[in-house]
Chains A and B, each alone.
Chain A
Amino acid sequence: MGKVLVFAEQTNGKLKRSSIELLQAAAKSGNTVAAVVFGSHAGDVTAAAGHNGANEVHVVKDASLDSYNPELFTANIAAIIEKVQPSIILASASSTGKDLFPRVAARLGAGVASDCTELNISGDSVTATKPMYSGKCFAKANFENTNLKIVLMRANQLPVAAADTSKSANVVEQAVVKPDLKTLIKEIVKGTSEKLDLTEANIIVSGGRGLKEAANFKMLNDLADVLGATVGASRAVVDAGWVGHGMQVGQTGKTVAPSLYIAVGISGAIQHLAGMSGSKVIVAINNDPNAPIFQKATYGIVGDAFEIVPKLTEEFKKALHH
């Protein structure tokens, strides 16, 4: 057996669901699980990592690590890896994970497989499956010529069981490493939405040109609020300027993998499908029975979005809040 190192990500001092998935998967593998937590709000995250399977948590409690800087994070991760000597590293294919770990891999001579959807750990070896060609096929990533194997997993791919609060981890405080930085983060402009990012959302309500105009996205926001969902969009409406590019789902937008994807007034062009076909359950609402989206959907409603969406919002309210 070896050691699996999990990069534990947080939002405002709360361990992310995607990191919980990885910690629990690592714990199930029978390896020793080490978690890494960065930043001044590390306390609660450290405890949560223990409840979800970490045997040891390496904490760098320095405010300089509260926001992401590639060079600074690379130096600090590399220092911990050298101490911990893991054979496998798991991180989520989040903005930070995808940016950071290829750089870490290059520094340490390690292999990295990014954006994976299946994980298979056996002793200290690991393989992962990842979608290729915009989800049109899958392939298995096998590591070779490397003692350190890094897998970046898409969110919502692995099961999550309840945390076990009786468990705790051995906490190891690590000193911050401060290299000379050539990168300076000057400003962080907050997003407009407090909702989960599309790439992490468990439910997505997405709108297309069938909504006719920007103002009608309110109808989708109302539905999303009831469901605790994040709102997405097709490229057609992003290009039309109805919503920001951060909301675009598809080949040139975000790749999403929710349990439930509700596509409203979206035709289902191949580039849109490329981003959302990994959704577990797909609902299509479209007034054209021949819209290609119905070929990918689990459930379809042929009809007018303006009649159906408000009714649906009512029904969900009834079903979820009584």
Chain B
Amino acid sequence: MKIFVCIKQVPDTETKIKITPDQNGIDTAGIKWVLNPYDEYAVEEAVKLRDANPGSQVWVLSVGPKARVVESLRTALAMGSDEAIVVNAENLDNYSTAKALAEVIKAEGGAKVIFSGKLAIDDNASSVSQMLAEFLNVPHTTVVSKFAFNGENVVVERDVEGGAKEVVQMMTPAVVAANKGLNMPRYASLPGIMKAKKKVIKEIEFSSLNIPASDIKVKYTNFALPAEKPAVKIIAGDASAQAAELVKLLRDEAKVL
């Protein structure tokens, strides 16, 4: 069976974010790009599923500027994925990204299970997986921390509010968006890295997918850094005095009680 994994390349968490002079984006000079952390869980689960089902294949797919995005695809290949596709595109939104992912998966003959991350840590939207599922007309579950496949259906556990969990069964094909806790992603092995270097990554131009410009629905502008915080007020004294003073400040100055 065919298993697809959608991955996104994102700036490393330690990156210092600088805004471009026109304030319509961030300055990408000097940014270190990594595979989105949640997508690592997605790749790991796909590889495990493949290994448990002989004859299966893992395809990784990413939409983005191909010159850099191929690096994350190679990471996913080094973790054990079999094939990789990049859709070369810039400045899409969640809607057009999901459309592109759906078009490519359809054109490649579909998939039994499609994994993604629950959220990309740059745009923080948690929306692409659900949109992709809708465009493919298949069920989806997000925030998944447990996955099982019984040959026909998948059964997953979804983390919801207040520490509650839902056990969800879906007919395949289905989209599964990974949360932390799903597994422990493996490190790429040296032989894996060497093999990944030699793989041919299939390239598709976004323009060849016939997705109209009107499928971009949201545009981000006016990027700004958070306002500077005033310096911390350190509270002096012994433990009793500190506690009393803090409660007073929270009530009378900050007014949060």
Contact = CB atoms under 8 A, between A and B. Distances in A.
Contacts of A142: 218-221
Interface in A158-212: 181-197, 199-200, 203
Interface residues of A, number: 100
Interface string B121-156: 111111111110111001111110100000000010
B246 A301 contact: yes
A192 B163 CA distance: 6
A312 B243 contact: yes
Contacts of A298: 229-230, 232-233, 254
B141 to A, nearest CB: 7
A281 B139 contact: no
Contacts of B215: 145
Interface string A84-124: 00000000001100111011011100111111000000000
A114 B159 CA distance: 19
B141 A115 contact: no
A99 B142 contact: yes
Contacts of B143: 95, 99
Nearest to A71: B139
Contact of A188 (B14, B19, B166, B174): B166
A183 to B, nearest CB: 4
B221 A105 contact: no
A299 B134 contact: no
A225 interface: no
Interface string B29-40: 000000001100
A270 B13 CA distance: 8
Given A106-B95, A301-B242, A113 B164 contact: no
B214 interface: yes
Contact of B121 (A106, A189, A251): A251
Contact of A132 (B122, B145, B180): B122
A252 interface: yes
Name the residue in B122, B131, B135, B242 with the highest tally of chain A Cβ atoms < 10 Å from its Cβ: B242
Nearest to B161: A197
Interface string B216-255: 1111111111100110111100011011101101110010
Contacts of A67: 166
A311 B240 contact: yes
Interface of B: 11, 13-17, 19, 26, 37-38, 93-95, 98, 121-131, 133-135, 138-143, 145, 155, 159-171, 174, 180-181, 213-226, 229-230, 232-235, 239-240, 242-244, 246-247, 249-251, 254, 256-257
13 contacts: A98-B142, A103-B140, A106-B134, A106-B135, A112-B217, A114-B126, A115-B126, A133-B122, A185-B167, A188-B166, A244-B163, A245-B145, A300-B233
